[in-house]
Structure 1
Amino acid sequence: MRRSSSKGIDGMIRYVSYVCGRSGATRSKSSNPLRPQPNVKIGCNAKLRRGLEEDGKWRIRVLNLEHNYTLLTPTKSKFFQCNRSLSSYAKKKLDVNDRAWIRLSQNYQSLVIEAGGHENVTFTERDCRKHIQKEKRLRLGDEDAAALQNYFIKLQSEDNRFFFFSMQVDDEGRLKNVFWDDPMNKEAYKEFGDVVTLDTTYLTNKYDMPFAPFVGINHHGHSILFGYRLISHEDVETFTWLF
């Protein structure tokens, strides 16, 4: 991590010092189980200092690569978040087994056995649990999804020019995301749409789907609604579809 830096009179950084994230000493010896230390300080002296010379080139002035603890081996790099991923096959098998009421631990172990051991698996049991939880968040029954669609179609038939809705389904035809907008919201956006915010902090339905309204501010300083959505996941794919 960066320990310190300094700038010259021209505003450019002239000196930077980097140290190990475990340098120094822990300030408090008391341990709070509700707020664990992400990286315990143990006085590691590994460091790198560099400075900008007159010729415009950076020069390393101090370098110590010796840590006072055992570093992770390259074989453990797969445990970093950036290197973990669930294949489409693994996701499909997790979903099928979960619907068959197979326990998560057994579900995960079956994938490990197929891969030939833990060293060949690109994900952890926790990743599997997260995926299953995300899939469970929106498993609407056929009647619920159909009723919602029929209601929106009815509203659109009454005012075909202004009422708008869009529904996204997955490969199995299950409802994933819904967006709708009525004439009053559209008029409000025309008048006060200079700034739009999107709030995903509401969980107001039995499916635990984030209800995310598009919100603005009117001329009285009050919040005003521009549109609505219900989503199953808060990921890049979902937000791309929405916007």
Structure 2
Amino acid sequence: MKNICQLHFVDLGLAFEFYNSYAKTRDFSVRKSRSRIVNEKVREKAYVCSCEGYRLEKWNHMKNRVREPKPETRCGCMSKLHVFFDAVTESWVVRDFCDEHNYELVVPKLARMLRSHKKMTEPDISQMNHMKEVGISIPNIFGSLASQCGGYENVNFSIKDMHNQVAKQRRQLPDDLTSAMAYLKTLAARDQNLFYSVEKGRE
């Protein structure tokens, strides 16, 4: 604990990556929490155990709920890493660190599937996309990646994560109208004699 309290980070991203990596070795998951902002700049940040705090009661009594509320996972755990910006060293310094948990942590082999540790790397995404292009299904791609890792227990994501990644990529693709408009704008920038207009459809 003493060594961690002496750590400095060049930016908040590294502070979170450190705490998340540490959490994986200790078999718990983390999330980003409160920030202190001064003059529109973040000057303090807390990263906490995913079981920190409690669910607000309003979420348990929502009207017109379509699905049943998910099981409560927060139990007031106090584990956290709190950093602040030191203007002298221009780095993020640990102000407070707590490594005490009030619940039973997961077994080590399941830590990789906790929320903050589940992640598809860029090589994983690239390989998935290449295999999809030749018609291989997501379950078969997942099986292939598992074989490369030495077994399903060594894959740091699930089939659902793969489907979510595919859906995310589709949302990022421009629709036909957006692509056409971008093309016309490019042509117009090259040729001052080219004019185009967009007529909204009638209701």
Question: Where on the TM-score scale, by shorter chain, does this alignment land: which range?
Answer: 0.3 to 0.5
Tell me which protein shows more helix as a share of its residues. 2
Higher RCO, 1 or 2 (CA under 8 Å, sep at least 6)?
A: 2
Q: TM-score, normalising length from structure 1? A: 0.36
Normalising to structure 2: TM-score of the pair? 0.42
Structure with max Cα Rg: 1
